[in-house]
Structure 1
Amino acid sequence: MVCNQIFNLIVDLSGGKNYYDIRKKCVGDLCYDFSNMEDFLNLKSVRDALGVGDIDFVSCSSTVYEAMITDWMRNLEVGIPTLLEDGIKVLIYAGEYDLICNWLGNSRWVHAMEWSGQKQFIAAPTVPFSVDGVEAGLQKGHGPLLFLKVHDAGHMVPMDQPKASLEMLRRWMQGKLPLEQDGHLSPI
């Protein structure tokens, strides 16, 4: 709570910067416009397809917030090494302009995480993540772990870079990340 208060004070002193995207000013309660997503997810046809009945979708639920508040400052990284040791692939990505979950802090905890492939991950090259021949980010990986910094994006990478995030997910699900710029698999 103390860290959160300090962070909020800094954001206030900055003139209302958007803590999800430091290039922008925060507009609205959530600093992003989720109205299109809310409208879509509340269509009867979509709710029926998802099997959620008459439950309305909301972008930010006070019920969920209150239930998860104690997890805010809990270190959940401790469970990831077990996943990696079991060969479960883990993708950590961050938008380069996100302040609240900034790419540098994420990169540092990923590099500091202790697991059997840590030294090889640290030594692995950082290579471009390109979409349609244009660099859309930087990626680094070894074995089942990949870290990807997405260029020109804030916290909501899919809203800021929809094409790049879709390609990131496609490649990840197909086992084709990381890729070097020439389209060949990076040695990991």
Structure 2
Amino acid sequence: MLIRKLKYYDVRKLCDGQLCYDFSYAVSFLNDERVKTALGVKNLKFISCSETVYRAMSNDWMKNLEVDIPSLLEDGIRMLVYAGEEDLICNWLGNSRWVHAMKWSGQKGFKSATTVKFVVDGAAAGDLTTHEALSFLKIYKAGHMVPMDQPKAALQMLKAWMGGKLAS
């Protein structure tokens, strides 16, 4: 009997491939000579999972970085924490809990802020809570790779956040 692994990045799906996602389109796109020229990285080759980068970041693995975030919020640096509702490994509930429990001057306001629907093309695509510089967004029908699962929602989220209009 063939046993396929449940994808812990998206509990709705079975794992397919080394990283449980097909990155071939992104690899092809980012290695296109025109794209590399536009990005100013003509002499580099993009790979979806770099062992060199992984090793360089291993000191940050499972480190509680939440302790550094409050000072960034106090300085007015906007922060968006988002999660797909179907992601098990970085689940939305755990992310929501640490965001709500984080000690900062706006914590009380964030905890009492109204959660509103994040709407894409006239339909609810997630739940958004915002207070001052902090926003938390749960994206519906998405796993770990929100842009792969909900590309329109991911693009709208990114554009709105970068433009300072996510909460409006």
TM-score (normalizing by structure 1): 0.85
Q: Percent identity?
A: 64
Letter in 1 for 2:136: F
1:161 aligns with 2:168: no
Contact 2:4 2:15 in 1 (8 A): no
- The answer for the alignment partner of 2:13 in structure 1 is 24
Contact 2:83 2:138 in 1 (8 A): yes
- The answer for the alignment partner of 1:72 in structure 2 is 61
1:37 aligns with 2:26: yes
Moved over 6 A (4+): none
1:134 aligns with 2:123: yes
SS in structure 2 opposite 1:22? coil
Letter in 2 for 1:74: K
TM-score (normalizing by structure 2): 0.95
- Residue-pair matches, total: 166
Q: 1:15: Cα distance to partner?
A: 5.3
- The answer for the alignment partner of 2:75 in structure 1 is 86
2:49 to 48, 55, 60: 60
Q: 1:159: Cα distance to partner?
A: 0.7
Q: Quick one: distance in 2 between partners of 1:39 and 1:91? A: 29
- The answer for the alignment partner of 2:163 in structure 1 is 174
- The answer for the alignment partner of 2:101 in structure 1 is 112
Q: Quick one: distance in 1 between partners of 2:12 and 2:96? A: 20
Give the unaligned 5+ runs of structure 2.
none
1:49 aligns with 2:38: yes
- Cα RMSD of the aligned pairs, angstroms, is 1.3
Give the structure, 1 or 2, with the largest relative contact order (CA under 8 Å, sep 6 or more): 2
SS in structure 2 opposite 1:141? strand
